[in-house]
Amino acid sequence: MKRNTILLISVFFICLLSGPVSNAQNRVDRSFPKENLFSLGSYYYPEQWDESQWDRDLGNMAAMGIKFTHFAEFAWGMMEPEEGKFDFAWLDKAVSLAEKHGLKVILCTPTPTPPVWLTKKYPDILIVRDNGVQIQHSRRQHASWSSERYREYVERIVTKLAERYGNNPNVIGWQIDNEPGHYGVMDYSENAQSAFRRWLREKYGSIEALNKTWGCAFWSETYQDFGQVRLPNAQEVPEKPNPHAVLDMKCFMADELAGFVNFQADILRSHISDNQWITTNLIPVFTPVDPVKMDHTDFLTYTRYLVTGHRDGIGEQGFRIGDPEYLGFSNDQFRNFTGNRFGVMELQPGQVNWGTFNPQPMPGAVRMWVYHVFAGGGKFVCNYRFRQPLRGSEQYHYGMMLTDGVTLSPGGEEYVQINKELELLRKAYDPKAREPECRSARRTAILYEMPVHWEVENQKQTPQWKTLDHAQKYHRLLKKMACPVDVISEKADFNRYPFMIAPAYQLLDSALVERWTSYVKKGGHLVLTCRTGQKDRNGALWQELLSAPIYGLAGLKGLFYDHLPQNYHGNIEMDGKSYRWNNWADVLTPAPSTEVWAGYADQFYKGSAAVTHRKLGKGTVTYIAADTDDAALEEDVLRRLYSKAGVKVENLPEGVIKEWRDGFSIVLNYRSDAVSIDIPADAEIILGGRELGPAGVAVWK
């Protein structure tokens, strides 16, 4: 069946089932009831282990307190060893062994790994790199989302799976694919090239409109028809490709991917029971992944690895603990994609095999990460993976069990401990508990959309600019102030938030400026940061002064930006205190009635505004024009803003995270040293205490 026909039929079915959202809410909550608080799962690959060990392994998994397992996201070759010949006997057995041990099952569609007979017979389904090399069989994520032929094979295997397990009460839900995203490789196959041209035709209507939007008059880039356009490719041009084409390519790829996920979701939904939910597991903030578009799923999950040698963390041992934003930002973002429901589908149980180097996590860190997901409102953690492989890919990757398959790894021991502790939390759970008002009063939204991220990343202008770090810096400061944060998309209702930060929100339109204006007039406190509003949604500068569309809102009259060399710092002054900046500075000309909170203390624009603030209606707009490394300026501005608004905030040590969930206060210590934390004298302490060592956790109510 062709893609469009499937889509139409699916849409029909979805409408018939009267709104996926309300059903979705019920079915996810049915698997993960609120009073159960939190659930633990673990990945198992029956295809990787001797069949005689499955029973033992799943029994051991259940004995540790694990409640569900996760099968088959890479097992297409086992399910369909020859074209059209299906073998599910092994999976039937694994699912029923799980059931025997009281483990529920998440089943996956195996679409990241087409079998070798398929890619050999039809190499046109493979993706092609920017250098023209076609990616071949033997790893994963190598088939093109744009290939109609691939989709036909996908439809068949997904249908078979759904028919077989869609009414199995032990299967609670489905994961589509695995970390869909081609691991960041853009697909330059002919399938993708033609799909891109179709996408452009639909977006622009005429080639003239494309030429105009992409600025093709310059350098004779002008196209005569869509057939001449290719995906922008740095290998095919002597310098960076056209920036508008790059933005369109990322949005197109994200649409192809979301279409691929939604296509599978529709097939599943037309076969499976109403009790089974559908999700996929995403790498957060990734190219070309736009989770907002994967809206045929019931909810979304993410995958995270904190100790991989890539990041220093906090303090001398931080490399063993990880950065709090890694989980914190993702919790706050994924919770908001799909109505307050998310889980973490992969979390490392120990050392991984693919880091820049592979340190052992700090004892306790595995446990703390699980509590971080709990604290962020997650429904579950599914630990990656139960056993450590002995051969093949992922040798050296820790599991819950060590290489002998039966001895718990240190991380495995921590899961056993968490399972016991969850019982204490369940006993203490009070369904009537409500978030303390002092906390709700500081609820802050961070507005983050992938097209904006992609556009800024593509035109950084200075090697010191890091788009996600810029946003996560604000997240970290808000967490220091113990603010509840929601990382939202433009789909969200802004009016739910007393405070909102739009970090480096470079792309906008008049509709967004109007929404912000009305949000502020009603009493919202809006913080805009450097780079905001420079361009329209297609990445064109306005035929006005730079960032002019936000001048009315922010109380500005003009703006230009500046960068400094890496080893040189400029100074900013606020209230007699001096701050250093180095990465990015918007230099502001405020309108007469706008307050200047901070100004540049040197450079040829000495005396110009670096932070402005104005009242508008019942709310305020603050513009933080500089991006600093130490975040001292940004922190003091935020504190001043919340205090002016009469909202009390805390002052936690860096790396100490404090959250509230279902009546529990949870504190986590990502620092390399011990800290003393404030726990009210009358609190009932359930876990930990007032002294928290590195990777320590305290929970009280």
Binding site for ligand GAL (CB under 6 A): 178-179, 303, 305, 346, 352, 384, 394, 397
CB of 160 vs ligand GAL, minimal distance in Å: 22
Closer Cβ to ligand GAL, 306 or 487, answer by number? 306
- Chain-centre distance for alpha carbon 594: 36
3-state SS class at 499 = strand
Question: What are the distances in angstroms from CA 43 to CA 28, 349, 592?
Answer: 19, 11, 61
Residue nearest to ligand GAL (CB): 179
In DSSP terms, which residues pair with 627 in a beta bridge? 584
- Alpha helices for 52-139 (secondary structure H): 54-63, 76-79, 89-100, 116-121
By C-beta, is 68 or 302 nearer to ligand GAL? 302
Question: Which residue number, 73 or 636, has a Cβ lying nearer to ligand GAL?
Answer: 73
Nearer to ligand GAL, 344 or 456 (CB): 344
CB of residue 236 to ligand GAL, shortest distance in Å: 30
Q: How far is the CB of 440 from ligand GAL (least distance, A)?
A: 35
Q: Do the Cβ atoms of 591 and 548 come closer than 8 Å?
A: no
User: What is the token pair recorded at 658?
Assistant: 């404090």
Which C-beta is closer to ligand GAL: that of 260 or that of 384?
384
- Interacting residues of 154 by C-beta distance below 8 A, sequence separation 6+: 109, 111, 260, 263, 264
Is 47 within 8 Å of 90 (Cβ atoms)?
A: yes
Residue 573, phi then psi, degrees to nearest 5: -120, 135
Rank residues 180 and 318 by Cβ distance to ligand GAL and give the closer one.
180
Q: Which is nearer to ligand GAL, 345 or 699 (CB)?
A: 345
Rounded-to-integer distance, Cα 188 and Cα 194, Å = 10
Residue 371's identity, in one-letter code, is: Y
Closest CA to 499 of 513, 485, 509: 485
Smallest separation, CB 346 to ligand GAL (Å):
6
Residue 137 DSSP SS3: coil
- Closer residue to ligand GAL in complex, CB, 179/256: 179
Q: What minimum distance in Å lies between the beta carbon of 348 and ligand GAL?
A: 6
For residue 7, the surrounding DSSP H or E stretch is helix 3-16
Which residue shows structure tokens 């995403």? 282
> Identity (one letter) of the amino acid at 253?
M
HEC-encoded secondary structure of 614-652: EEECCEEEEEECEECCCCHHHHHHHHHHHHHCCCCCCCC
Q: 627: left (phi > 0), else alpha (psi -120 to 50), else beta?
A: beta
For residues 43 and 579, which CB has a smaller minimum distance to ligand GAL in the complex? 43
- Name the residue nearer to ligand GAL (CB basis): 191 or 303: 303
- Residue 652's Cβ-count burial label (10 Å; 0-12, 13-18, 19+) is middle
The smaller minimum CB distance to ligand GAL, of residues 252 and 384, is found at: 384
Measured between alpha carbons, how far is 423 from 230 in angstroms, rounded to an integer? 57
171: phi then psi, degrees, rounded to nearest 5: -90, 115
CA–CA distance, 119 with 627 (Å, rounded to integer): 48
Nearer to ligand GAL, 137 or 269 (CB): 137
Rounded Cα distance between 476 and 469, Å, is 10
| ∠ CA 598-601-604, rounded to 5° | 120
